Structure 1
Amino acid sequence: MSDIIFLNGNYLEKENATISIMDRGFLFGDGVYELIPVYKGKPFLIDKHLSRLRSSLSLIGMKSDNEHIENLYEILLELIKKNGYQDHFFYVQITRGFQASRNHVYQEDVTPTILVMGEKYQIFPREKLSLGFNGCLQEDFRWTKSNIKSISLLGNVMLKNYASQNGFYETLLIRDEKLTEGSASNVFISKGQQVMTPNLGPDLLPGVTRDLLIDLLKQNGVEIKECDISRKDLIDSDEVWCTSSTNYCVPIVEIDGKTIGSGKVGGNSFKSYDLITEFISSL
């Protein structure tokens, strides 16, 4: 028996779920998504994740006043109960929905397609993080509204697979000689005692884990700055680490063969990992 998922008002086994080939998400990538961790059987930072989902919907001209969108928290709790999830992840996808003809222009009365399903991702233990990871640099050729958590992820897929196929953990992205983010993560660097991360804007996703880490670092007396980070700043930094919902701190100790700092995982990376781990443990 496969996991129980939620699709358009129904709870059913994942292997039995189907959508129409005329769904605009299938034909156009017309939709948004959210990835929500579950720790100890509870959705993590749920208000922030749902707020970002509503923002993404608004930015593509979709309303949030659908019954199932309004009840997403209750749907998550029901799926946790039905599947017995403890430490897991939820993938929530909302497309503009079914339209009888393939047309770039969407009808205003289209009913959205709403999918919620569980996913299992490997979270790296501290021992693995202590070895450090390597990254590579590529030009950020994605569309210029990366602040929307769009299901149209072809650019991200190509860039993440470039890293995977060439023996790297992550591709770090440069646009106009400035760091934006990773192909599937936000990025932090440190130089001396100063921790920095790129300014929010249309070039990068407003990461929930990113925001949590900024708050936790500030609460613990770490000076952090949201600012432009040049290619040179990145390469010359003492530490680089990536954050995301699936792995909340991944230290990068080498970029395109160039050693970062000492070549070992530094104190700010470990501190970031430990602060988020402690925060999760306290829930």
Structure 2
Amino acid sequence: MFNHPQAERKLEIQPNCIGDHVRRETVAAIEVSGDHAARSHIPKITALTLQCRGGYTLEAELGISPNGYAEPDYLGWEVKQYGVRDFVNYLAKSPVTLMTPEPTGGLYREQGVEAFLRRYGYPDKSGKPGRINFGGIYANGRDFHADTGLKLVLEGFDADKGKITNVDGQIALIDRDDVVAASWGFRGVIGHWNRKHAKAVYVPSLMRAPPPEYAYGARVELCEGTDVLLLLGALASGAIYYDPGMKMERADTPAPVTKRRSQFRVRHNDLTTLYQASVHENIDP
């Protein structure tokens, strides 16, 4: 981590009530040390050497062990960092990754990621030999993707009424033959969202390189009061979209190597549509 003139060395999240319907409590007072990357009981993780790992650096500073469990990060709060251009206007540089669940149905689940990539992936556009990629933006209401032939549909949710019409509904990627390439059942999505995202704090960050180092700003955004209907409504409107980053290397050999990355993202400015209440707090030094 590096010191920035507009960054605070002490993160103290002590929100008051941001609405009569929301009960607040003190979250934490966290001392952030500028001369080490993690607590003594946390290993010096790869966050400081990878440009895309600002969130891991923040988790290490909070004493959060990196893991894939669908539980809140810290004292009931989901902690997320987002990159900004400066600590003056706090304009987000990229979308927020909300969740990274693996598909629970479809060809992906039934035949595996290799079969999925061979059927729906495309050759690497920079010409890397033996590499197959699967990427792009998939949002409800968009047409089939030109590279993969898939589109995202939302089944079992009435967007006009804001109601779930089938609890066994799903978010699905389908091809032109209506084959379900991958799907996420509502039951799993509902459980994940309600467990992990009931309360979330979004912390701004600046990155400098080389080597990649991060500073965290004093103006954090606290959000509460989400529910799955808000999530599904945002999916129905296209505000939340699927933005995968999968690949297969050595695809032309008997031992291909796959990388899985399913992620649902949202523009930072659309975050507030997912919560009943949100507030910006300036953290005292």
TM surpasses 0.5: no
TM-score (norm 2): 0.23
Structure with the higher helix share, 1 or 2: 1
TM-score by length of 1: 0.23
